[in-house]
Amino acid sequence: MKVLVAVKRVVDYNVKVRVKADHFGVDLANVKMSMNPFCEIAVEEAVRLKEKGVVTEIVAVSVGPTAAQEQLRTAMALGADRAVLVESNDELNSLAVAKALKAIVDKEQPQLVILGKQAIDSDNNQTGQMLAALTGYAQGTFASKVEVAGDKVNVTREIDGGLQTVALNLPAIVTTDLRLNEPRYASLPNIMKAKKKPLETVTPEALGISTASTVKTLKVEAPAARSAGIKVKSVAELVEKLKNEAKVI
Amino acid sequence: MAVLVVAEHSNGALGSATLNTVAAAQKIGGEISVQVAGQNVGGVAEAAARIAGVAKVLVADNAAYAHQLPENVAPLIASIARDFGHVLAPATTNGKNFLPRVAALLDVDQISEITEVVSADTFKRPIYAGNAIATVQSSAAVKVITVRGTGFDAVAAEGGSAAVEAVSGPADAGKSAFVGEELAKSDRPELTAARIVVSGGRGMGNGDNFSILYSLADKLGAAVGASRAAVDAGFVPNDMQVGQTGKIVAPQLYVAVGISGAIQHLAGMKDSKVIVAINKDEEAPIFQVADYGLVADLFEAVPELERTI
């Protein structure tokens, strides 16, 4: 079967971002960008399903700026067969991304779509669920285990308090949690080979979708800084401070 | 405009996150209704009706809504939501699971994990793992929002006397089925609601060593959490994880033991009132956010702390 994997270009998770002085967002000029860590897990899961013989073709999709081609090349170096970029230089909200992905799903007809559970820039945790709603497919969010069995996929999900397993009819949408797998690194020969794999570019207009949003960002601020603390010398001093100064125990 | 709050519940009990979400609804203003969807949820509906400030409880009791599978619950909520100006759910794994599906069915954007209500259409929410706070404004006819519980003080669970009304919605979509559940058992307070949280990290060395944290936690009446490093190393189950990808906590006192303080962990606990760090590495980033830092070997300091309290 065919699998579609969605990947997002985001600021690298090791970068400590700074809010811009004009409060119109965070400063992303000259900052290292990478594939969103949850998307890496999604690509890895698709590749493992292919290695098990369950999957025959992996299509990587990204909705974002021209530079997101880099992340699609990375996905292909990791094992995706080809890639589609829905190119838009606007900052799109989850619903617009879900609509773009729906258009690609309609065209490609995959049996399984794997996304990360959230992007570490917007921290929304919405796109997979929204894509499931738009396509009418079942959804297995926060997956820590994925098993395809016939025309169903069993997904073990990380929930508050433990784990839950659901059986979903295919085609289905799965979003990955951290413990689903440990993503591999791309090898140099595979990075070279990925440069020759096909990468198609389309625009939201060509797909006939609207990227209009009902939400706008008015301001982005730095969080309130914590006042500097002190270092205590002993456990006795710590307990004394907690009891008499902070009054929390 | 009226506000609909989707109740969090499991195993026949109302989830405490519902109370924080009702508090956010009160800040928005307007009549508050609580929606309870599930199977055999009469008790949950009664508990919801007693929440202070709730005017109406809408109960959809149907086998199709058992385990709140989003394929079935989202169309139900979407069908009811059209009569409301706002639909709110707690940012629990349940709320995060079904609410974006509701938003897409209504063809509106969702606003995730608000921590502050500025006005009925403007909200604040953390982005970039809490390293920036965005103020966002929604022009949607129905504003679909998840609420970060630690951003709002819970309303009283008693004192209300809302009318309970049965509602029905779409039948089982037949796309998904519940197979099973494995829940971690714990007698300690729930992590997200605890007044004190004691957390261990990679410095704990192994899972057995967490016993010294459990022992300290029991003396303090605290919940026990963990960093992603401790979870990934297999020391403790992942529902104990505090961080951007785990639970967000904001207790009165947070004790970080053997935790370096990576960005992803700080995103889950930096709104705690008082932070204590115990770490033998005095360069650890956790000391930059800790109110009280103790540079010491945790295997000596934690038992001593327990004896001294």
Give me the mean pLDDT over the B152-164 stretch. 95
Mean pLDDT (chain A) is 96
Question: What pLDDT does A199 receive?
Answer: 98
Contact criterion met (CB < 8 Å) for A238 and B275: no
**Which residues of chain B does A169 touch, with a Cβ-Cβ cutoff of 8 Å?**
174-176
The reply to whether omega before B90 is within 30° of 0 (cis) is no
State the helix-helix crossing angle for A94-108 and B93-105, rounded to 10 degrees. 70
Starting at the edge strand that comes first in sequence, how are the strands of the sheet with A230-232 ordered? A230-232, B292-295, B274-279, B253-257, B196-200, B223-226
Put residue B34 in one of left, alpha, beta given phi > 0 → left and psi -120 to 50 → alpha.
beta
Q: In the predicted model, is pLDDT for residue A188 greater than 90? A: yes
Query: DSSP for chain A?
Result: -EEEEE--EEE-TT----B-TTSSSB--TT--EEE-HHHHHHHHHHHHHHHTTS-SEEEEEEEE-GGGHHHHHHHHHHT-SEEEEEE--S---HHHHHHHHHHHHHHH--SEEEEES--TTT----HHHHHHHHHT-EEEEEEEEEEEETTEEEEEEEETTEEEEEEEESSEEEEE-GGG--PPPPPHHHHHHHTTS-EEEE-HHHHT-----SEEEEEEEPPPPPPP-EEESSHHHHHHHHHHTS---
Q: Are A127 and B136 spatial neighbours (Cβ–Cβ below 8 Å)?
A: no
Nearest to B181 among A19, A164, A231 (CB): A164
Confidence (pLDDT) at A179: 87
Is a pLDDT exceeding 90 seen at residue A225?
Answer: no
- What is the pLDDT averaged over residues A6-34? 93
Residue B241's nearest CA partner among A35, A115, A161, A174 is: A161
CB A187 within 8 A of CB B212: no
Report the predicted TM-score, pTM, of the whole model to 2 decimal places.
0.94
Which of A31, A34, A105, A123 has the most B C-beta neighbours within 10 Å, making it the best mutation to test the interface with B?
A: A123
Q: Report the pLDDT value the prediction gives residue A3, as an integer from 0 to 100.
A: 98
Cβ distance of B109 and A213 shorter than 8 Å: yes
Report the pLDDT averaged over residues B215-222: 96
Please compute the mean of the pLDDT values over residues B11-22 and round it to a whole number.
Answer: 95
Q: In this predicted structure, what is the pLDDT of residue B29? A: 95
Tell me: pLDDT of A248 over 90.
no
Q: Which two tokens stand for residue A210?
A: 């609207």
Percent of chain B with pLDDT over 70: 100
B173-199 pLDDT tens trace: 999 999 999 988 778 998 988 999 999
CB contact under 8 A, A166 and B10: no
Token pair 């990587």 is found at A60
Q: How confident is the model at residue A7 (pLDDT cuts 50, 70, 90)?
A: very high
* B271 close to B148: Cβ distance less than 8 angstroms: no
Closest partner CB to A236 (pick from B96, B99, B308): B308
Question: Across the interface, which of B109, B112, B292 has its CB nearest the CB of A230?
Answer: B292
> What value does the mean pLDDT take over residues A127-138?
98
| A14, pLDDT greater than 90 | no
B83-96: per-residue pLDDT in tens? Answer: 999 999 999 999 99
8-state DSSP, B189: P
Q: How many residues comprise chain B?
A: 309
Provide the 10 A C-beta neighbour count for residue B271. Answer: 22
pLDDT band for A226, please (50, 70, 90 cuts).
confident
Residue matched to tokens 């605290």? B222
Distance CA B201, CA B205 (A): 8
Alpha-carbon distance B165 to B162, whole Å?
9
Predicted confidence at residue A161, as pLDDT, reads: 84
Comparing alpha-carbon positions, the chain A residue that sits nearest to B272 is A226
CA distance A53 to chain B (A): 24
Please say if the pLDDT value at position A45 is more than 90: yes
pLDDT digits (tens, 9 = 90+) for B239-277: 899 998 889 999 999 999 999 999 999 999 999 999 999
Q: Which among B101, B295, B309 is the nearest to A132, CB-wise?
A: B101
The alpha carbon of residue B124 and the mean position of all alpha carbons in its chain are separated, in whole angstroms, by 17
Among B107, B179, B183, select the one facing A165 at the smallest CB separation.
Answer: B179
ipTM: 0.94
The residues with which B3 forms a beta bridge, in sequence order, are B32, B86
Q: What is the pLDDT of residue A71?
A: 98
- Stronger pLDDT, B172 or B185, i.e. the higher one: B172
Q: Mean pLDDT across the stretch A206-226?
A: 93
- Whether A158 shows a pLDDT value over 90: the answer reads yes
Mean pLDDT of A216-224: 94
| Least confident residue range of A11-20, A129-138, A150-159 | A11-20
Minimum distance, in Å, between the CA of residue B252 and any CA atom of chain A: 7
Neighbour tally for B215: CB within 10 Å: 14
Q: Are B249 and B242 in contact (CB under 8 A)?
A: yes
Distance from CA of B191 to the nearest CA of A (A): 10
B-chain CB neighbours of A246 within 8 Å are 253, 273-274, 291-292
Q: Do B183 and A162 touch (CB under 8 A)?
A: yes
- A125 to B112: CB separation less than 8 angstroms, yes or no: yes
The answer to whether A164 contacts B309, with C-beta atoms less than 8 Å apart, is: no
Q: What is the pLDDT of residues B58-85, one digit of tens each?
A: 999 999 999 999 999 999 999 999 999 9
- The residue-averaged pLDDT of B269-291 equals 96
Backbone angles phi, psi at A7, to 5 degrees: -130, 145
pLDDT reported for residue B143: 98
Q: Which of B79, B117, B127, B179 should we substitute to test contact with A (largest number of A Cβ atoms within 10 Å)?
A: B127
* pLDDT at residue A63 is higher than 90: yes
| Mean of all residue pLDDT scores within chain B | 95
Examine the pLDDT at A141 and tell me if it is beyond 90.
yes
pLDDT in the model for residue A249: 84
The residue assigned the tokens 């990375």 is: A74
Rounded to an integer, the average pLDDT of A119-137 is 97
Cα nearest neighbour of B277 on chain A? A231
